[in-house]
Amino acid sequence: MNSTTVDPQKNTFQNLQNYWLNALTFEEYMQEATERATNNNIENDPYQEYYELGLQRMNRTLKTFKLDSEQLQRAEAKNFEGKILIISEPWCGDASATVPAVSKFFEAMGNEVRVFLRDRDTSLIDQFLTNGTQSIPKVIVLDENFHVKSNWGPRPQYGNDLLKKFKENPETYPREDFYNDLQVYYSRNKGKDAIGEIITLL
């Protein structure tokens, strides 16, 4: 789990409120993902196969996702009345594995969730860099007044551990094995670890 240092001067009430107002509901985000995967008007878009793969993964997560009663109790005990703002893009593999589950969990909790498209305006992700990179997804936990409480992303600790293993041993643990192991983990975990880590930050 990664957290980032937030510059409070950049994250004023007005700034975060504007980003929120320009973000999509999760349903609108799924519509955007579907449009890009099935009716992309950009010819020879290099992301095309990733849009299609991402949509498949998100739909699979939505079909199999189940609310965890223990996590619901943990979240309820936090008395969190704020909002969840997610920075994402439909082509991102990490995002397709976690955004649907996180969105559905917090919507079930009664918290508003919106998704801000990273590539349409990078000024938001630039305030939440991960080791200097614009990695997504980023989940920003906001209070009722749009102040940043905390942030999470771009992947659960288990995924970070796999990435560390790959970076430290690329010859014995090649990129293909890392990607395969990460997707197997995501498929089995169904967003549970991501949700659990975010609850801790509420």
pLDDT, tens digit, 9 for 90 and up, residues 54-112: 999 999 999 999 999 999 999 999 999 999 999 999 999 999 999 999 999 999 999 99
Q: What whole-number percentage of the chain has pLDDT above 90?
A: 88
- pLDDT reported for residue 9: 44
Q: How far apart are CA 103 and CA 100, in angstroms?
A: 5
Q: Measure the CA–CA gap between 34 and 45, rounded to whole angstroms.
A: 15
Successive 10-residue mean pLDDT values, the chain, 202 residues: 47 73 97 95 90 95 94 97 97 95 97 97 94 96 93 96 96 96 94 97 96
* pTM attached to this predicted model: 0.91
The pLDDT of residue 2: 52
Please give the pLDDT value at position 8: 44
What string of H, E and C letters represents the secondary structure of 16-71? HHHHHHCCEEHHHHHHHHHHHHHCCCCCCCCCHHHHHHHHHHHHHHHHHCCCCHHH
Give the pLDDT score at 7: 47
Predicted confidence at residue 170, as pLDDT, reads 94
Mean pLDDT of the chain: 92
Determine contact, residues 138/151, Cβ cutoff 8 Å: yes
